[in-house]
């Protein structure tokens, strides 16, 4: 048996982020002003984000320097380990070689600090005192609370009601790093009050929580908003994951045939896969990249490619994306981080151009894969991460059926140590399979009056 764990030294932490925009054959269409439906420039984002991040959002530079202070902060948990899943391979009796990059070693327990740290850094540089945000499962809120605390800034988080009630430890974590946390929809904002008037028992959604955080962020000069996925600069920051993984795979003397990651808004998928897709675009390699999404929130496999809002109320610019419609409220599955109606602009364009693939999995199949992983590899995965494992298991089983060996790499983007209630529900048979009908998707899409894309 060769190495189980492939490690890098601190010196090997990448010094630049990789911007796939520079290499894309078709660049994404521009964001539109919702009122005039004409393309907007970067200045439209200035009330919401600091200029340092806006520049990255629209940059076509292939490589972007990681500031020294950010690299230093990354050292708290980076480089992260890459493992060979010998235990899982054996249990599946597959000829495939399975590797996973483990991002659960960060203080927040997921990949999210990879962007929370630079986002806090660029805000701090421009004199911002407070960052507001939303959180679904609590992972992003925890990551931003941690990063703001490290840069001595305030952090205020709107947490989707369903998770606020179900994951009290996530809230306490954020409080420990000094952040304040509200259940969303809340009465603190017009957006929240509007939703509550329609449905006082609303379980909330990422789209609603985003509306609330932006509404308050734009009210003060010294406060800004931060998003934990979807946007180009967030995907950019996450490429540290794939660049490290590429180095580690080289050390293992291997190159993946398939890279896999769970998909919420696209950031951890982009983070792992873009540095490998660069080899396809630059060197003609044929590495497959598969995004794994929940069957109950299937924007990539059953959504449409058109302009839509990033939030529920319609405060963001119109973005060209795969979407289920900004009013779509996904069933309350346990993978809270994947309950988002749309996909990032870059990943959407890549899917449209058939440069990446997508696959949907049902909740029970994901937990089955996650439990198998926990029992063979030891780490208990986040419910979101279970989606990537489910795809990896399918691919490994296909290798067995076809009698061929492939190298599979997936992103174990977070641990599930705060998600034990979800596992408990699974073990006690309380997890149901939600069958999303075409009628439900059609009715959400029918409400859209945003521009279509030919
Ligand atoms: C947030 C989150 C996701 C989904 O978000 P992406 O932007 O698609 O990465 C997946 N897994 C975990 C553990 C998360 O915290």
Closest C-alpha residue for ligand 1 atom 3: 337
Pocket test for ligand 1, best of 264, 321, 373 (most atoms within 8 A of CB): 264
Task: Quote the ligand 1 centre to 347 CA distance (angstroms).
Answer: 14
pLDDT above 80 (res 296): yes
Closest C-alpha residue for ligand 1 atom 10: 384
d(CA 32, CA 259): 32
Ligand 1 close to Cβ of residue 316 (< 6 A): no
pLDDT per residue as tens digits for the range 387-417? 999 999 999 999 999 999 999 999 999 999 9
Q: If you average pLDDT over residues 126-154, what whole number do you get?
A: 97
pLDDT per residue as tens digits for the range 229-252? 999 999 999 999 999 999 999 999
The structure tokens listed for 73 are 């902060």
pLDDT above 70 (res 447): yes
Q: If you average pLDDT over residues 60-89, what whole number do you get?
A: 98
**Segment among 2-11, 29-38, 335-344 with least mean pLDDT:** 335-344
The structure tokens listed for 426 are 């699974």
Residue 110 DSSP label: B
The structure tokens listed for 358 are 């997508």
Ligand 1 close to Cβ of residue 270 (< 6 A): no
pLDDT at 1: 60
Ligand 1 close to Cβ of residue 414 (< 6 A): yes
Q: Which residue has the higher pLDDT, 335 or 226?
A: 226
155 pLDDT band (50/70/90 cuts)? Answer: very high
Ligand 1 atom closest to the CA of 271, numbered from 1: 9
Ligand 1 atom closest to the CA of 382, numbered from 1: 13
- Across the chain, mean pLDDT equals 96
Pocket test for ligand 1, best of 105, 110, 297, 385 (most atoms within 8 A of CB): 110
pLDDT at 454: 84
- Per-domain residue ranges of the chain: 5-12+67-109+232-446
Ligand 1 close to Cβ of residue 262 (< 6 A): yes
d(CA 137, CA 416): 11
Ligand 1 close to Cβ of residue 388 (< 6 A): no
Other Cβ atoms closer than 10 A to 29:
17
d(CA 217, CA 326): 21
Ligand 1 close to Cβ of residue 273 (< 6 A): no
> Helix, strand or coil for residue 93?
coil
Task: Quote the ligand 1 centre to 35 CA distance (angstroms).
Answer: 31
pLDDT above 80 (res 333): no
Percent of the chain's residues with pLDDT above 70: 100
Task: Quote the ligand 1 centre to 454 CA distance (angstroms).
Answer: 30
Q: If you average pLDDT over residues 268-274, what whole number do you get?
A: 98
HSE on the CB side for 300, CA within 13 Å? 32
Contact between 212 and 158 (Cβ < 8 Å):
yes
pLDDT above 90 (res 331): no
d(CA 249, CA 261): 16
Task: Quote the ligand 1 centre to 404 CA distance (angstroms).
Answer: 31
pLDDT at 337: 81
Ligand 1 close to Cβ of residue 344 (< 6 A): no
> Helix, strand or coil for residue 271?
helix
CA separation (Å) from 86 to 92, 253, 265, 275, 422? 10, 16, 30, 25, 26
pLDDT above 90 (res 137): no
**Segment among 51-60, 163-172, 237-246, 361-370 with least mean pLDDT:** 163-172
pLDDT at 54: 97
Task: Quote the ligand 1 centre to 446 CA distance (angstroms).
Answer: 28
Ligand 1 close to Cβ of residue 112 (< 6 A): yes
Q: If you average pLDDT over residues 21-38, what whole number do you get?
A: 96
Q: If you average pLDDT over residues 137-145, what whole number do you get?
A: 95
Ligand 1 atom closest to the CA of 266, numbered from 1: 8
Residue 452 DSSP label: B
5-12+67-109+232-446 topology per CATH: Rossmann fold (3.40.50)
Using alpha carbons only, give the angle 420, 96, 257 rounded to the nearest 5 degrees.
100
Task: Quote the ligand 1 centre to 415 CA distance (angstroms).
Answer: 11
- Residue that is written with structure tokens 């306490």 in the block: 172
207 pLDDT band (50/70/90 cuts)? Answer: confident
Range from 23-32, 201-210, 311-320, 332-341 that averages highest in pLDDT: 23-32
Task: Quote the ligand 1 centre to 210 CA distance (angstroms).
Answer: 16
Ligand 1 atom closest to the CA of 413, numbered from 1: 13
pLDDT above 90 (res 316): no
For 221-251, give one letter per residue: b (16+ CB within 10 A) or e.
eebbbbbbbbbbbbbbbbbbbbbbbbbbbee
pLDDT at 434: 79
Write down the pTM of the prediction. 0.96
d(CA 204, CA 322): 21
pLDDT above 80 (res 336): no
Point out which residues pair with 98 in neighbouring strands.
408
pLDDT at 178: 98
pLDDT at 30: 94
Q: If you average pLDDT over residues 214-234, what whole number do you get?
A: 95
Pocket test for ligand 1, best of 114, 229, 351 (most atoms within 8 A of CB): 229
pLDDT at 299: 97
Closest C-alpha residue for ligand 1 atom 5: 264
433 pLDDT band (50/70/90 cuts)? Answer: confident
Closest C-alpha residue for ligand 1 atom 11: 384
Count of H-run helices and E-run strands, the chain: 17, 15
Closest C-alpha residue for ligand 1 atom 4: 264
d(CA 18, CA 351): 19
Ligand 1 close to Cβ of residue 413 (< 6 A): yes
The structure tokens listed for 239 are 């490429």
Residue 105 main-chain phi, psi, to 5 deg: -80, -5
Closest C-alpha residue for ligand 1 atom 15: 139
């Amino acid at each position: 048996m060769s190495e189980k764990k492939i490690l890098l030294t601190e010196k090997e932490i990448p010094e630049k982020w990789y911007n796939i925009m520079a290499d894309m054959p078709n660049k994404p269409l521009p964001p539109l002003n919702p009122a005039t439906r004409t393309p907007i420039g970067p200045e439209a984002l200035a009330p919401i984000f600091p200029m340092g991040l806006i520049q990255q959002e629209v940059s076509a530079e292939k490589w972007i320097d990681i500031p020294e202070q950010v690299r230093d902060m990354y050292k708290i948990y980076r480089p992260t380990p890459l493992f060979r899943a010998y235990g899982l391979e054996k249990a599946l009796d597959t000829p495939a070689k399975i590797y996973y990059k483990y991002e659960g070693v960060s203080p927040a327990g997921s990949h999210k600090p990879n962007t929370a740290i630079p986002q806090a850094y660029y805000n701090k540089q421009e004199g911002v005192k407070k960052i507001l945000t939303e959180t679904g499962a609590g992972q992003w809120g925890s990551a931003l609370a941690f990063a703001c605390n490290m840069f001595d800034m305030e952090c205020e988080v709107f947490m989707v009601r369903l998770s606020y009630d179900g994951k009290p430890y996530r809230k306490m974590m954020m409080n420990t790093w000094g952040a304040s946390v509200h259940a969303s929809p809340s009465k603190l904002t017009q957006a929240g009050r509007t939703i509550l008037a329609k449905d006082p028992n609303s379980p909330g959604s990422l789209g609603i929580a985003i509306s609330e955080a932006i509404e308050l962020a734009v009210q003060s000069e010294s406060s800004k908003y931060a998003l934990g996925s979807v946007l180009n600069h967030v995907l950019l920051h996450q490429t540290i994951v794939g660049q490290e993984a590429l180095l580690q795979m080289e050390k293992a003397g291997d190159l993946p045939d398939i890279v896999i990651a769970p998909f919420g808004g696209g950031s951890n998928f982009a983070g792992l896969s873009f540095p490998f897709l660069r080899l396809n675009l630059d060197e003609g390699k044929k590495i497959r990249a598969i995004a794994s999404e929940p069957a109950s929130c299937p924007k990539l496999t059953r959504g449409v490619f058109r302009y839509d809002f990033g939030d529920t109320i319609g405060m963001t610019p119109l973005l060209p994306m795969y979407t289920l419609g900004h009013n779509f409220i996904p069933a309350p599955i346990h993978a809270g981080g994947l309950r988002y109606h749309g996909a990032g602009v870059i990943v959407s364009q890549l899917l449209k151009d058939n440069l990446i693939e997508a696959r949907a999995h049902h909740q029970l199949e994901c937990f089955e894969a996650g439990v198998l992983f926990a029992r063979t590899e030891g780490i208990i995965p986040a419910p979101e991460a279970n989606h990537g494992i489910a795809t990896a298991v399918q691919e490994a089983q296909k290798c067995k059926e076809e009698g061929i060996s492939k190298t599979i790499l997936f992103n174990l983007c977070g641990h599930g140590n705060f998600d034990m209630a979800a596992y408990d529900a699974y073990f006690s048979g309380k997890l149901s399979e939600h069958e999303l009908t075409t009628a439900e998707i059609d009715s959400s899409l029918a409400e859209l009056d945003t521009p279509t894309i030919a």
